[in-house]
Amino acid sequence: MYKRPKILKEIRQLAASSNELKEQIRQLEASVNELQKRQQEDSDRERAEAEMKRMRDDLDRRIHDGIFARDLLAVPDEEWKKTGDYFQRPYGEGSSTAVAANANTFRLYFKGLVSKETVGGVTKTFAGIGVAICDLRDDLIFELRKPLVGCEASSEVVEVKALIEGLNTALTLGLNRVTIFCDDKSLYRCVTGKGKQRQGKVATLLDQLTLLQRKFTYCKAYFVAQKDIKFAFKLAKDATVSQVNRTAESGLWQE
């Protein structure tokens, strides 16, 4: 027969071993989850990098085609009659697209919108930004619409965030010269160094904006009417509307 103390001791040892095993399993599960998270982040980053490369390549090709078209128009009629059939410039073969991207000045339009909408009887604040980058002829080469969720939804903050997004995008595309078109008088004064000192969140964003501006070889801002940033205004409006629609469809307004 087993003695009672001995049996109790063995039971406690088994319980301790079981707890240790559970802890090992928990740690293993945590390690697996962390590994999966890193793999997903790596995958997302690779997709983002591939998409950005595709966008840069597309931009390079469009710049190349635009330069080639302008050169064609500059050929005198007499010369065109003689050599027009042989006039060509294959993309990627001795083309100076990257040089042209750095030499040309691109137009940056941006807008941040904040609106209060009633969804399901509940009034909520929605925010969205729009960015449009165009060449000197105002031909659109890049557009972005993005809802802002979970951020301070003041008009001033959202407007600055839109410009930051636009400048970051221009740098990512390899554009070193940009002209900024701004319809917000207060932000325009800040961008040009004439604005009043800000505090808190806005001050932090403006500092970030100043650092971004310094990364360009040319970066100048112009104050314009709202009708002159129609590309970006529509993109920001679309981003806000899509956010309202998703909220209504998902029932998030009940939260």
pLDDT at position 211: 93
Please state the rounded mean pLDDT for residues 18-23: 69
Asked if 127 and 147 count as a contact pair (C-beta separation under 8 A), the reply is yes
Asked if 100 and 176 count as a contact pair (C-beta separation under 8 A), the reply is no
Which residue from 61, 89, 62 is spatially nearest to 75, judged by alpha carbons?
Answer: 89
Q: What amino acid occupies position 49?
A: E
What pLDDT digit, counting tens, does each position of 80-106 carry? Answer: 566 655 555 555 554 444 555 566 889
pLDDT at position 164: 95
∠ CA 96-100-105 to the nearest 5 degrees? 175
pTM over 0.75, yes/no: no
Cα separation, 130 vs 146, in Å, equals 7
Tokens in use for 88? 């060509």
What pLDDT digit, counting tens, does each position of 160-180 carry? Answer: 999 999 999 898 888 889 999
Question: Length of the chain in residues, anyone?
Answer: 255
Tokens 């809802």 belong to residue: 147
pLDDT at 232 over 70: yes
Asked if 167 and 108 count as a contact pair (C-beta separation under 8 A), the reply is yes
CA atoms within 13 A on the CB side of 92: 2
Over pLDDT 70: what percentage of the chain? 62
> Quick one: how far is CA 130 from the chain centroid?
10
Cα separation, 131 vs 233, in Å, equals 8
Q: pLDDT category, 203, cuts 50, 70, 90?
A: confident
pLDDT at 143 over 70: yes
Cα separation, 155 vs 185, in Å, equals 13
User: With the C-alpha atoms ordered 220, 221, 227, 232, is the resulting torsion angle positive or negative?
Assistant: positive
Please state the rounded mean pLDDT for residues 200-214: 89
Give the range among 91-100, 142-151, 233-242 with minimum mean pLDDT. 91-100
Q: What interhelical angle do 155-172 and 200-213 show, nearest 10?
A: 20
The total of other beta-carbon atoms located within 10 Å of residue 24's CB is 10
pLDDT at position 62: 67
Give the range among 5-9, 15-19, 171-175, 239-243 with minimum mean pLDDT. 5-9
Q: What letters, b where the CB count within 10 A reaches 16 and e where it falls short, cover 30-39?
A: eeeeeeeeee
* Helix, strand, coil abundance in the chain, percent, nearest 5: 60, 20, 20
* Selected residue with higher pLDDT from 93 and 251: 251
**Domains along the chain with CATH numbers:** 104-254 (3.30.420.10)
Over pLDDT 90: what percentage of the chain? 24
DSSP 120: T
Which residue from 254, 41, 244 is spatially nearest to 149, judged by alpha carbons?
Answer: 244
